[in-house]
Structure 1
């Protein structure tokens, strides 16, 4: 599976870009999966639900299955967060996995940068950043390709070219 990241500081527009790229790539006939990394304590379950009660009782993993989807919840129980490399093999094979977050990972990535956040470019210290998608393309001093954040087609073309897909 090919892997490509979308990284940036908080409120830079990562999720919106990932959403648009998934639509763009699937429209082009690619099978796409995503991994979303968060620093928050994410809980996809709700108190009172049976699956929540199973986890609270001590289950290491709980699988929830319906006619529309299935989800596997894995409790770390104070174990360290697994690295991205350990999680990727748990996904079913697809053409492309888009990674949102994991900004310090070594995988290739596009940095999403909004000038209004005032944050420095990750590209200045991260050789894995292959290009920058920004809302202010004429204002960045960088040696990386700069793409307009709203030009989803151009960003998708860049990712596919960089990965050697199509």
Structure 2
């Protein structure tokens, strides 16, 4: 088993095959976690090129001219863009280190299935391969229907459609983490 990523806050991966509803679930969970008094950061893996900046804007022009990183800020938000040419895949440990200054209570990572972090796996029959529900890092499986394979007793079983139960489990799991005590 690979060694866990060292982090000053609990890190929970949400792992599922494309089309299972990771983003939909997170959009429902985040307001509930915020209502519980938690500051939750999210890191989302993108499998394709993306741009949060727009051609024609000053920040875009400056980034294209070589600013690295480019940080743009207003009184409502800030965003930092950093080019990562020739990088095969994002380095999750580095991305988590960027979250440290924000002092979240929890960081949820969407994607990054192969990284050694505790995971809540989402599974819907007929979407992807059922091997996703097993593995050393799986803490809980939220299912729509019955389990495709035997789930170990140490892994919590949740109903994918019961947002309150999933929220309660995340809070319970987070509070049981050694890094949660330091918050």
Shared fold (TM-score greater than 0.5)? Answer: yes
- CA distance in structure 1 between the aligned counterparts of 2:173 and 2:37, rounded to whole angstroms: 18
- In the alignment, is the contact (CA less than 8 A) between 1:108 and 1:130 conserved in 2? yes
Q: Which of the residues 99, 102, 114 maps onto 1:104? A: 114
SS in 1 for 2:25: helix
Q: CA deviation at 1:139?
A: 4.1
Q: Is 1:67 aligned to residue 78 of structure 2?
A: no
1:134 paired to 2:130? no
**Secondary structure, in 3 states, of the residue corresponding to 1:30?**
coil
Structure 2: gaps (5+ residues): 1-8
What is aligned with 1:150? 161
Q: 1:94 aligns with which of 83, 87, 104?
A: 104
- 1:10 aligned residue (6, 14, 18): 18
Look up the match of 2:4.
none
Contact kept in structure 2, 1:113 and 1:121, CA below 8 Å: no
Deviation at residue 28 of structure 1 after TM alignment = 0.7
Partner SS state of residue 116, structure 1: coil
Q: Deviations over 1:38-70 (max 9, x none)?
A: 111121112222111112112211111112100
Q: Equivalents in 2 of 1:60, 1:43: separation in Å?
A: 15
**Which residue in 1 is equivalent to 2:6?**
none
Map 1:23-102; keep pairs closer than 5 Å: 23-91=31-99, 92-102=102-112
State TM-score, norm by structure 2. Answer: 0.82
Structure 1 unaligned spans of 5+: none
Provide TM-score, normalisation by structure 1: 0.90
CA drift of 1:110 comes to 0.6
Q: Find the aligned partners of 1:72 and 1:18 in 2 and give their Cα distance.
A: 23
Q: Which ranges of 4 or more aligned residues in structure 1 deviate by more than 3 Å? A: 79-82
**Aligned counterpart, 1:115:** 125
